[in-house]
């Protein structure tokens, strides 16, 4: 078995589901904390479980370069290597090549690039991307694609999209493992008709799940939302839908309202290290002077370890002092909030009250519903 998916209920466009992998099940809609290099920054696997995480994401590009996929395979695979016994999704490495490597060349064979670590030269092909992910032993693998930059001309976007389709077919043909699922990626930039063509082409190849790529790459929020709203309904009802790399709380709520099942983003962990905390009322920047003597927790209704035990004044103090504990406590809160947010949405869908809940979510932040 590679991946089972049950769509349990729909409500106002939102979907409640359950995915089953060889390393356990996870409920959807789901947020996947990002363990880029085999670790979710600042928290242990046990803490992740306690915070409500059911599936995490790791980065193929970084693990390929260091410590190497063959080393990880020899040590029992990525689950054992990082002591996470739940589902893992690995990306293909394509986005990191395009975003981190200044020297790269894209052609039909794949991507030739220089490592951002030591300048060494590498070739990443669709077949290679699958081979690396199979060595890692992730539950869900992603096809190699070209993440089209923004802005991009229609001519470039269309050419890039068709290359992504040919690579996707090669990835599927290269797949050997029967215990790992493979998701195809829809591209097409900011052009509605290309998004539709891409969705149709990727579905024709046939995958275990489908992802929307090439979003949150610099475009304005309304344009991103337009592309999501245009593309998500085109994807198969019976397969999970994954919105890649998109991740403010508002983005997650909008995505769920459009029928997206899976999300990932570094935002909760990166913002935690930078002193920004997410709450039901919006962002709280802990370094602000107004919290110097504030005895309240980050969020009085939050049940996380940080909010149960520490004041805003203390969190500001250790952040200003550069204490390592600051990053840990902030990360615990942010990841708890993201898991809580997804849980609230699942409950709202289950009860048939998602639209009412969504309006309340925006009202609590003083925002108009998207």
> Would you please indicate which residues are annotated as catalytic (active-site) residues?
91, 264
318: part of which helix (H) or strand (E)?
A: helix 312-320
Q: Where are the alpha helices (DSSP H) in 137-191?
A: 154-174
Q: 29 preceded by cis ω (within 30°)?
A: yes
d(CA 233, CA 13): 9
Residue listed under structure tokens 């290597």: 81
Contacts of 146 (CB under 8 A, 6+ apart): 94, 98, 106, 160, 163, 164, 167, 187
Half-sphere exposure of 67 (CA within 13 A, CB side): 13
Tokens 């089972």 sit on residue: 4
For the chain, what's the residue count? 370
Helix (H), strand (E) at residue 183: strand 181-186
Q: Which has the closest alpha carbon to 169: 144, 187, 133, 194?
A: 144
């Amino acid at each position: 078995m590679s991946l089972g998916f049950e769509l349990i209920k729909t409500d106002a466009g939102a979907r409640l589901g359950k995915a089953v992998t060889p390393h356990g099940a996870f409920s959807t809609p789901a947020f996947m904390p990002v363990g880029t290099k085999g670790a979710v920054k600042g928290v242990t696997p046990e803490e992740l479980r306690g915070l409500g995480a059911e599936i995490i994401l790791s980065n193929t590009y970084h693990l390929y370069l260091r410590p190497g996929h063959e080393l990880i395979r020899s040590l029992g695979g990525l689950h054992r290597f990082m002591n996470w016994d739940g589902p893992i999704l690995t990306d293909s490495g394509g986005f990191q090549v395009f975003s981190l490597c200044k020297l790269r060349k894209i052609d039909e064979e794949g991507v030739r690039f220089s490592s951002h670590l030591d300048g060494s030269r590498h070739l990443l092909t669709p077949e290679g991307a699958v081979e690396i992910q199979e060595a890692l032993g992730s539950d869900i693998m992603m096809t190699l694609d070209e993440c089209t930059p923004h802005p991009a001309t229609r001519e470039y976007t269309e050419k890039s999209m068709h290359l992504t389709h040919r690579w996707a077919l090669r990835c599927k043909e290269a797949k050997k493992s029967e215990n790992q699922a493979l998701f195809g990626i829809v591209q097409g930039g900011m052009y509605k008709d290309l998004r539709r063509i891409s969705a149709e082409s990727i579905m024709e190849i046939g995958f275990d799940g489908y992802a929307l790529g090439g979003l949150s790459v610099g475009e304005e929020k309304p344009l991103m939302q337009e592309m999501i709203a245009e593309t998500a309904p085109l994807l198969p009802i019976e397969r999970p839908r994954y919105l890649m790399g998109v991740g403010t709380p508002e983005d997650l709520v909008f995505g769920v309202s459009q029928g997206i099942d899976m999300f990932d983003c570094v935002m909760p962990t990166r913002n935690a290290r930078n002193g920004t905390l997410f709450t039901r009322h919006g962002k709280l920047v802990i370094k602000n002077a107004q919290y110097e003597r504030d005895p309240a927790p980050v969020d009085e209704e939050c049940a996380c370890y940080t909010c149960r035990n520490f004041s805003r004044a203390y969190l500001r103090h250790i952040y200003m002092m550069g204490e390592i504990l600051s990053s840990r406590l902030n990360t615990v809160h942010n990841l708890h909030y993201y898991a809580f947010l997804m849980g609230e949405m699942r409950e709202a869908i289950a009860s048939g009250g998602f639209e009412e809940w969504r309006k309340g979510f925006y009202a609590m932040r003083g925002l108009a519903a998207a």
